[in-house]
A and B are shown apart, each in its own frame.
Chain A
C-alpha cells in the first residue's frame, strides 16, 4: 500500500516536471534563448534575496518548530537601516566613503541591527511562549509582524525611500551575448553566495553550529548535555535575522525602492522558498529561494505581471500537496 502511494507520488512529480520542461521548451522555441537567459539572470538575483530570507525561516523552524512570520518585517527593518547609513554617509550621488566600503558598512549595520532586533523579538515575544501550545507563538509572530510594520510607518512615514542605485553604482554591466547583467546583480548574487557559504561553514564546522544542530534534533537532550539552549536559540535568531537584514540592503541596491510594507510579501515568498526547499533544511532554503525567484521572473517574462504571484503561491500549494517535505527536506517519521 505504501509502495503504491510512493509510486503514485513519484509518477505525479515526474509528470509535473515533464510539463514544466515542456513549457520551457515551447517558450524558448517561440520567444528565443536570449529572453530565457535574461530571465534566468533576473530570477537568480531575486532568488538570492529570497534565499537569504528563507534561511532565517528554516533555521528558526529547525530549532523551535516555529514559523516566524515577523521575519519578513525584520528584512524590511534591515533595508531601512541600510538606507539610513547610505543617507548618513552623503547619499548615493556624493557619498563620503568609497562605494565599495559604503556598501560593506551598509550591510554590516543592517545585519547587526536586524540581528539585535531578531534577538529582542525572540526574547520578548517567543521565549515566554516556548512551552505554550504551538498556536500561541504563531499568533505572537503575527502580532510582532504588524507591530513592526506600523512602527516603521510611524517612524519613517508611508513614503517610499529610494536607494538610487543607478547614481550609486552607475549603469554599467556585462554583456554576455545579448544578455545584459548589471553590475549590481553580480554584487547581490556574489554577496548572497558568500553569506550562504559562511553560514554553512558555521553550522557544520563550529561549536555553535554543532550546538544548533543538536538543539534542532532534540532540545531537551541538548539541554541535558550541557548546551545553553536559550543562548543557542538567541544565536539562531541573530544569524537568521542578520541574513534577512542583508537581504533588505541587497533588495534596495538592485530594485531601488523600500517601504514599510515591503516585508509582508517578501516574507511570504521567503516562507514559500523555505517550504519548497524543505523547511528545516539550510541547503533546501537556498535552493528553494532560487527556484521561487526564477519562477517569479519566468512568470513575469513568459506570462504576465498579473500571474507572477499567482504562480509563486501556486507552487507552494503544489508542493504541500505533492511533496510536503520539499526538495531537500527529510521525510517525517511518526512512531505508531
Chain B
C-alpha cells in the first residue's frame, strides 16, 4: 500500500515536471518566443515587411549591455518605420547569453535557419563573433556588430560577412595607453584580463603601448566567472597607480572595484568599452574607454527624450548597425528580388552620413569590414556614479 502510494507520488511528480518543461520549451525565460518556435510561415522574397536578426545577450551576465543594444535597435527600427513607407522592418531576437558559448552558437543557428532573416545586427562580444561566425557564414548572413572590437576579427578571414560600427582595439589600446601615461601620469600599471579573446587582445595592445612609453606593467588574469578577487587584489603591489581591467561583465568589474576598496587599496580603476554600463559599473573615480557616440546628435536627443533622459550610449552603435542593415535590405529589394548574398554586398557599400548617424563619424566600412575613421574616447565616473566625457 505504502509502496503504491510512493509510486503514485513519483509518477505525479514526473508528470508535473514534464508539464513545466513543455510549457517552458515554448518560451524563453522572458516569455518571448524563440525564433525557432515562431510561425513556420517564412518569406523568401521582398515584401512590405522585412526582417533582420539581432544577436545580443538579452539575458545572462552581460544582459545589462544586451538590453541597451536591444533598446537602441528597437528605437532605430521604430524611427525607420516612422519615416519610410516601405519596406517596414521588424527583427528576430537571438539571445546569446554572453559569455555562454553554447547558447551563442544556438542563437546563431536559429537566426541562420530563419528564412525571414536577411542580415544580423550583432553579436556583441568578440569571442561570440569568433564562436558563431561559422554558423552565420553557413547561412550566408552578413553580421554587423555594434560592439565587438577585437582587432583580429577584421584580419580578412571574415571579409564580406563581418562588419562593425565601432573602431577596433588597435585604436582603443593606444587611446587608453596615452591617457594613462599623459593624463593619469601613471608609472606602475597592473593589467588583469578575463581570459576571453576580447580581453586578452586588448590587454596585449595596452601592455605593449605602455611598455613602449617606459611604464612598468604587471600582467595577471582571472576567470570570467570569478567572484572572489581577494587573492589577486592582495597581489597588487602597493606602488600601483592604475589597474586596467578590459573586461566584458560590468557586474564583475563592480564587484572587483568594491573588493578593491574593501581591501584598502587606493588605486585608479580603468575599464574598457565592455564596462561602459552606467547602471552597473559605478565605482567613483574610475575611467572607461568608449566608442565615438555623438551625444549631441538629434537621434540621441530623441532617444533620451523617449527613455526618461537616459542615453544608454552603449547601445548606440548597434542602432547604427541596424540602420546599415535596414538600408542594405531595402536597397536589395529595390528590384523586387533579394538574396542574402545581395544583402551582404549592399551592407559592404552602405553609408550613413555623420549628420544622420548616432556616431560622430560617417558610417561606412573598409574592405575588411572595419569602420572607417572613428576614435575612442575616455569617460570618468563621478562621485555620484554618473559618467562624463573627459577625453
A residues lining the B interface (CB < 8 Å) = 35, 38-39, 42-43, 45-46, 124, 128, 147, 153-154, 157-160, 162, 166, 171, 173, 175, 180, 182, 254-257, 259, 261, 265, 296-298, 300-301, 304-306, 308-309
Q: Is the Cβ of B252 less than 8 Å from the Cβ of A257?
A: yes
Task: Tell me the bound Cα distance from A308 to B30 in angstroms.
Answer: 36
Residues of B within 8 A of A173 (CB): 262
Q: Contact at A305–B261, with CB atoms within 8 Å?
A: no
Of A154, A158, A182, A304, the residue contacting B221 (CB under 8 A) is A304
| With contact pairs A171-B262, A256-B227, A305-B221 given, residues A159 and B234 touching in the complex (Cβ less than 8 Å) | no
What are the residues of chain B within 8 A of A124 when measuring CB–CB? 10, 13
Of B56-64, B129-137, B141-149, B380-388, the one touching chain A: B56-64
**Is B234 a contact partner of A255 (Cβ separation < 8 A)?**
no
CA distance A164 to B261 in the complex (A): 14
Q: Is the CB of B234 within 8 A of A301?
A: yes
- Show 30 residue pairs from A and B whose CB-CB distance is below 8 angstroms, ordered by the A residue: A38-B234, A39-B234, A45-B230, A147-B17, A153-B29, A154-B24, A154-B29, A157-B59, A158-B29, A158-B61, A158-B63, A158-B97, A162-B251, A166-B262, A173-B262, A182-B262, A182-B263, A254-B228, A257-B227, A257-B252, A259-B61, A259-B225, A265-B225, A297-B230, A297-B231, A298-B231, A300-B235, A301-B235, A304-B220, A305-B220
The proximity string for B residues 249-287 relative to A, scoring 1 for CB distances below 8 Å and 0 otherwise, is 101100100100111100000000000000000000000
Residue with the highest number of chain A CB atoms closer than 10 Å, among B17, B225, B228, B251:
B228
Q: Does B297 contact A (CB under 8 A)?
A: no
B86-120, CB under 8 A of A: which get 1 and which 0? 00000000000100100100000000000000000
Q: Among B220, B234, B249, which residue has the most Cβ atoms of chain A within 10 A?
A: B234
B223 part of interface (Cβ distance < 8 Å): yes
Say whether B226 faces chain A, with CB atoms less than 8 Å apart. yes
**A174 to B20 CA separation, bound complex (whole angstroms):** 49
Hey, which chain B residues are within 8 Å of A306, CB to CB?
A: 195, 221
| Cross-interface CB contact of B231 among A39, A128, A160, cutoff 8 Å | A39
The reply to whether the CB of B208 lies closer than 8 angstroms to some CB of chain A is no
Residue of A nearest to B265 (CB): A180
Interface contact tally, CB-CB below 8 A: 94
Residue of A nearest to B249 (CB): A160
Q: Is the CB of A257 within 8 A of B251?
A: yes
Given contacts A158-B29, A304-B220, contact A46 B228 (CB under 8 A): yes
Tell me the chain B residues, 51-70 only, with Cβ under 8 Å from chain A: 59-61, 63
Contact A162 B255 (CB under 8 A): yes
Q: How far is the CB of A15 from the nearest CB of chain B, in Å?
A: 27
Closest Cβ of chain A to B272, distance in Å, is: 18
Please give, as numbers and ranges, the residues of chain B lying within 8 Å of A180 by CB-CB distance.
Answer: 262-264
Binding site for A on B (CB under 8 A): 10, 13, 17, 20, 24, 29-30, 59-61, 63, 97, 100, 103, 192, 195, 220-223, 225-228, 230-232, 234-235, 249, 251-252, 255, 258, 261-264
Q: Are B29 and A35 in contact (CB under 8 A)?
A: no
Distance to closest chain B CB from A11 (angstroms): 32
User: A147 CA to B14 CA in the complex, in Å?
Assistant: 12
Contact present for A42 and B24 (CB under 8 Å): no
Which A residues lie within 8 Å of B103 (CB)? 158
- Bound Cα distance from A128 to B9, whole angstroms: 13
| Distance A309 CA – B221 CA, assembled complex (angstroms) | 13
In the complex, the answer to whether A160 meets B61 with C-beta atoms within 8 Å is yes
CB pair A42 B227 closer than 8 Å = no
CA distance A206 to B63 in the complex (A): 49
If A160-B61, A166-B261, A306-B221 are given as contacts, then 17 extra A-B residue pairs at C-beta distance below 8 Å, sorted by A number, are A35-B235, A39-B231, A42-B231, A42-B234, A128-B10, A158-B97, A162-B255, A171-B258, A171-B261, A171-B262, A175-B264, A180-B262, A254-B228, A255-B227, A256-B227, A300-B235, A301-B232
Question: Assuming the A-B contacts A42-B228, A162-B251, A255-B228, are A305 and B29 also in contact, with contact meaning beta carbons closer than 8 angstroms in the complex?
Answer: no
Query: Which residue from chain B places its CB closest to the CB of A299 in the assembled complex?
Result: B231
Q: A153-B29, A301-B232, A306-B221 are in contact. Are A158 and B59 (CB under 8 A)?
A: yes
- Which residues of the partner chain A approach B230 to less than 8 Å between Cβ atoms? 38, 42, 45, 297
**Among B30, B235, B252, which residue has the most Cβ atoms of chain A within 10 A?**
B235
Q: Which residues of A contact B264 (CB under 8 A)?
A: 175, 180
Given the complex of chains A and B, what is the CA–CA distance between A124 and B59 in angstroms?
Answer: 32
Residues of A within 8 A of B252 (CB): 257
**Complex Cα distance A38/B227, Å?**
17
Q: Give the docked Cα–Cα distance between A81 and B30 (Å).
A: 21
In the complex, what residues of B have CB within 8 A of residue A46's CB? 228
